[in-house]
Amino acid sequence: MDTHVITINQLTRCFKETTAVDQLSLEVHTGEIFGFLGHNGAGKTTTVRLLNGVIEPTSGSMRVLDLNPQMDGPALRARTGVLTETPSMDERLTAWDNLNIYADLYGVPRADVRTRINDLLTEFDLEDRAQEKVGGFSKGMKQRLALARALLHKPELLFLDEATSGLDPIAAHHVNNLIERMARREGCTVFLCTHNLVEAQKLCDRVAILEHGRLVALGTPAELTRQYVCRLDVEIEVPPEQIPTTLSILRSLPKLVLGEPAQPNGALVATINKYESIPEVLACLVQNHVRVYRLAPQEANLEQVYFRLHEEKEGVQ
């Protein structure tokens, strides 16, 4: 049976005249990578602080790991891990010593500390730098060490706030692979705050999109793209000698826009109004004796969804 790691109901947090989180309601399932998307200032970090009991809500309710963050903050934080966008590390100490200090703070049993630290340093490809001071580490190495620190006590729920912000592509790819392995192999639920839409598309089982503290969309990336992206490009590959016939047929179809006459690979590009129109286009070509070698819809993405929702919110036509 599916269980909910996080349940939020009409959660609101105001700072003087600013409403950072506005009547937010959603649920996060056990073991999923849940993307929490939005622009800077959308309310992502405030929500993480609320869910960890660091600040109190103005109104609404929430349950995290079946605990009330307002009442059970210390007990909750013992079961969650948090990686902020700019994690603080003691750069005068070695990587091993940094983890050792936090193992004490997290209450990791002393008999397990050495093995746990060594395992994490190996997992995050830092075992050869264990005795080096963190001040000499690159940003990517510091981020991997901070992620190892967040996992010292084997949290059931991991909050990641812009975990790859400022990292080069290789370092970001490494961190994302580690996140995916933790969720898929170790069953850790991941609450991923990000404005990196490409990253969210690849990693997340479901995503929530925020605009100025309000939830504007919730679902799997595939569900959201189908719901909010009304048109999509389709590549159609036919024999060269049948291109003129194919163009004529496609021009006769309603609600279809042709792109360039032919792509470098010989394929045509057509823009259709919805996924459900694909079988109709294929059937029409086959009925007219066109030999279709390939008909490939170009998947819509979260970036298109995000900008469509942003335009709706801002009243852009």
Domain map (residue ranges) of the chain: 4-226, 230-297
CATH: 3.30.70.340, 3.40.640.10, 3.40.630.10, 3.30.750.24. Which one for 230-297? 3.30.70.340
**DSSP code, position 64:** E
Q: Which residues pair with 172 in a beta bridge?
A: none
- What Cα–Cα distance (Å) separates residue 103 from each residue in 75, 88, 120, 135? 16, 16, 12, 20
**DSSP code, position 26:** E
Q: Where are the alpha helices (DSSP H) in 124-232?
A: 139-150, 169-186, 197-203, 221-228
Summarised one tens digit per residue, pLDDT across range 198-257 is: 888 889 999 999 988 999 999 998 888 877 776 778 888 989 889 889 888 888 887 777
Compute the average pLDDT of residues 299-306: 75
pLDDT, position 254: 78
Q: pLDDT at residue 299 above 90?
A: no
Please report, rounded to a whole number, the percentage of residues in the chain having pLDDT higher than 90: 48
Q: How confident is the model at residue 316 (pLDDT cuts 50, 70, 90)?
A: very low
Q: Domain 4-226: what homologous superfamily? A: P-loop containing nucleotide triphosphate hydrolases (3.40.50.300)
pLDDT, position 164: 82
Q: pLDDT at residue 169 above 80?
A: yes
pLDDT, position 88: 84
Q: Where are the beta strands (DSSP E) in the chain?
A: 4-15, 18-29, 33-37, 59-64, 80-83, 157-161, 189-194, 206-211, 214-219, 232-237, 256-258, 268-272, 294-297
Q: Say how far apart CA 236 and CA 243 lie, in whole Å.
A: 10
Q: pLDDT at residue 1 above 50?
A: no
Give the mean pLDDT of the chain: 87
